[in-house]
Amino acid sequence: MEPMRDLAELGSLSGPLHLAIGVFDGVHRGHQAVIGAAVQERERSGRGEVVVVTFDPHPVMVLAPDNAPRLLTATRHKILLLERVLGIRHVLAVEFTRAFSEQTGEAFIDRLLAAAPDPGIASIAVGENWQFGKGRSGNVGLLRRLGQRHGFSVSGAATVSVGGLAVSSTRIREAVAAGDFGIARDLLGREYTVFGTVIEGRKLGRTIGFPTANLTVHSEQLPPTGVYAVRASGASERWGGVANLGYRPTVEGGEMKRLLEVHLFGLEREIYGEELEVEFVRFLRGERKYAGIEELRAQIERDADAARDLVGED
């Protein structure tokens, strides 16, 4: 799915619209509740389209870049999950700039109303504590007042808790950073994955019998450094594999740069430029420096065998 980027594109849809609005970093259980409220309104009314309205980039990356967290889902990853996990067909990814942040919450809703096709917006769903617009002037209370004026209903989804933990992007980010994929899974409602583009590397892996796909992860949160059994999926294929997340101390020698390298079982073609979604199945071991390439090769063979057992690959 290619997202809409301009509010005017809403006019191409069949109204009325049922909007779910938020940043939705992670598309976690709390976000799913907000989006589910919009879906339920569409089903109740029996007409119109559900549209997820989100922001690109994450507002904090524009307003406070020095304090911006790692993302759980960059925009392309988020759109993939909205479509695959929730069945969403329409996403509006509004460009978030400093100029955009200067408009009031009411002005933003007025722009959405003006862009919507006849018969307009039927419902808007947000999180109950969501605030938007200059000076945080927009909230559920404002939306309800505007809804009474313009004829749309408003849902303010309550915070979701799982096992006594409030679901939040921050809590999931902390769990992933600590390597606690169980908590991340519970709060997300799915396995934690990262999304990246395969780039050309030094091709050392193929010389020792373990070619790797080097991934640029789009500002997403990574777990602790180490070696992992993984599953990866591309546009139409899935693989098991073994991944090294770290600084490659055996082969780099000089510059130390954190990289995600994935050896995919059964892959027999070049995939440079393709996008991969990678699930960390199990931590296998920490990263260490080996005496040389042969020792490294022997360890990778052991890692690959362990990973095959975990991901069910022959």
Residue 133 is predicted with a pLDDT of 95
Question: How do the domains of the chain map onto residue ranges?
Answer: 7-166, 193-311
**Residues 44-72: tens digit of each pLDDT:** 999 999 999 999 999 999 999 999 989 99
pLDDT of residue 219: 84
Average pLDDT, stretch 26-35? 98
pLDDT at 314 over 60: no
Q: What letter would DSSP give residue 108?
A: H
* C-alpha span between 314 and 298 (Å, rounded): 19
pLDDT of amino acid 203: 56
Ranges 106-115, 161-170, 201-210: which has the least confidence: 201-210
Q: Show contacts of 31-36: CB within 8 Å, 24+ apart.
A: 32/85, 32/86, 32/189, 33/157, 33/158, 33/160, 34/125, 34/126, 34/127, 34/155, 34/157, 35/82, 35/86, 35/88, 35/125, 36/86, 36/157
Predicted confidence band at 248 (pLDDT cuts at 50, 70, 90)? low
- Report pLDDT for 188: 98
Alpha-carbon distance of 45 to 166, in angstroms, equals 31
Per-residue model confidence (pLDDT) at position 291 = 72
Kindly list the distances between the CA atom of residue 224 and the CA atoms of 28, 122, 232, 285, 303, in Å, as whole numbers in the listed order. Answer: 21, 45, 18, 11, 17
C-alpha to C-alpha distances, 161 to 75, 81, 164, 178, 185, nearest whole angstrom: 25, 21, 6, 20, 13
**Rounded to an integer, what distance in angstroms lies between the CA atom of residue 112 and that of residue 92?**
11
Q: What share of the chain in percent tops pLDDT 70? A: 93
Residues 93 and 76: their CA atoms lie apart, in Å, by 10
CATH number, domain 7-166: 3.40.50.620
Q: How confident is the model at residue 252 (pLDDT cuts 50, 70, 90)?
A: very low
Write out the two tokens for 140. Answer: 């559920």
pLDDT at 35: 98
User: What pLDDT is stored for residue 263 in this prediction?
Assistant: 94
- Radius of gyration, CA atoms only, the chain: 22
State the Cα–Cα distance between residues 47 and 122, nearest whole angstrom: 10
CATH class as words, domain 193-311? mainly beta
Q: Where are the alpha helices (DSSP H) in 50-209?
A: 59-63, 75-86, 98-101, 105-115, 140-150, 169-177, 181-188, 204-207
Distance between CA atoms of residues 191 and 234, nearest Å:
16
* Residue length of the chain: 314
So what's the pLDDT on residue 176? 97
Buried b (16+ CB within 10 A) or exposed e, 189-223: bbebbbbbbbeebeebbeeeebbbbbbebbebbeb
Confidence at residue 207, expressed as pLDDT on a 0 to 100 scale: 53
Residue from 227, 231, 250, 252 nearest 240 by CA: 231
**Does the pLDDT at position 16 exceed 90?**
yes
Cβ–Cβ under 8 Å, residues 280 and 215: no
The pLDDT confidence band at residue 281, using thresholds 50, 70 and 90, is very high
**Res 116: pLDDT:** 97
Q: What is the pLDDT of residue 206?
A: 54
Contact between residue 215 and residue 278 where contact means Cβ atoms under 8 Å apart: yes
How far apart are alpha carbons 44 and 141 in whole angstroms? 23
> Contact 301/253 with Cβ under 8 angstroms?
no
Average predicted confidence (pLDDT) for the chain:
92
Q: Which residues contact 278 (CB under 8 A, 6 or more apart)?
A: 193, 194, 195, 196, 215, 230, 231, 232, 243, 260, 262
Report whether pLDDT(211) > 80: yes
Taking residues 86-109, what's their average pLDDT? Answer: 97
The rounded distance, in Å, linking the Cα atoms of 200 and 113 is 46
Q: How confident is the model over 235-259, as a mean pLDDT?
A: 75
> Between 174 and 202, whose confidence is greater?
174
- State how far the Cα of 59 lies from the Cα of 21, in Å rounded to an integer: 13
